[in-house]
Structure 1
């Protein structure tokens, strides 16, 4: 017999906020759950697995659009590993670009903060640097 969960139990078992589950249902990442005659939502093991997939993909930084693409492949049932890899490699390129941006940001902040003595004077090289035009 399938183990049916309420939304609260689904949230507790997956560590996901109830409002997040509602959001994923609203935007179509999670299907509308079956309901009892009294209107209570019922989540099956497949719903739990799908939510865990979504949560793990979000942990890895996949966007909602990326998730739609991945789940579209899964839901279609005829995806290939090559298609999944293509989406994953595109995401990896994006992650690497953000890392490069963060490294530039770190270098700039380290340089600017090194110019400041931290004295109790009104002139601050950090403020002066922030007023400089962006290149």
Structure 2
């Protein structure tokens, strides 16, 4: 099948498929005319890559997961370690977002939101009042 068909079946745009090939995550066969020739296994790999990336795994972690998937002698602890590390990253990001939300909420509570030009939100962002010349 051609890249358009592989894209349709995998749910990934052709540009992403070409990128995955460029970085070595996918190696489709080449037809006699030089065009990429995708097979069912390639579509499966593309879906695997898409699901891994949608869970937020980095390209390198996705590469490792794909390698572990292909390795019948793998240790499940290696897979679990990658997943746990990803969960820890998500927890850190959630904590950062909660801190940002709290800070922004505090600023919005201090802003009167009326016709007065004074705004603690802008003052905090600028760390000092903006003076016009």
- Provide TM-score, normalisation by structure 1: 0.87
Aligned partner of 1:116 in structure 2 is 111
For 1:29 and 1:121, locate their aligned partners in 2 and report how far apart those are by CA, in whole Å.
57
Q: Which residue of 1 aligns with 2:56?
A: 61
Q: How big is the shift at 1:68?
A: 1.8
Greater RCO (CA < 8 Å, at least 6 residues apart): 1
Structure 2, unmatched stretches of 5+, are: 129-133
**Structure-1 residue corresponding to 2:8:** 12
Q: Unpaired segments of 5 or more residues in structure 1?
A: none
Q: How far did 1:45 drift?
A: 1.2
The reply to whether residue 84 of structure 1 matches residue 58 of structure 2 is: no
- Give the match for residue 125 of structure 1: 120
Shift of 1:122: 2.5
From 94, 97, 101, the counterpart of 2:96: 101
Partner of 1:28 in structure 2? 24
RMSD: 1.6
What is the CA deviation profile of residues 8-46 of structure 1, one whole-angstrom value per residue up to 9, with x for unaligned ones?
001011211100101111111112x11111122111111
How far, CA to CA, are the matches of 1:34 and 1:45 in structure 2? 12
2:131 maps to which residue? none
Provide the C-alpha distance between the structure 2 equivalents of 1:57 and 1:128, rounded to a whole number of angstroms: 42
Which 4+ runs in 1 deviate beyond 6 A?
Answer: none
TM-score, normalization by structure 2: 0.88
- Cα deviation code 1:56-115 (max 9, x no counterpart): 011111111211221232344421111100111011111111111111111111111111
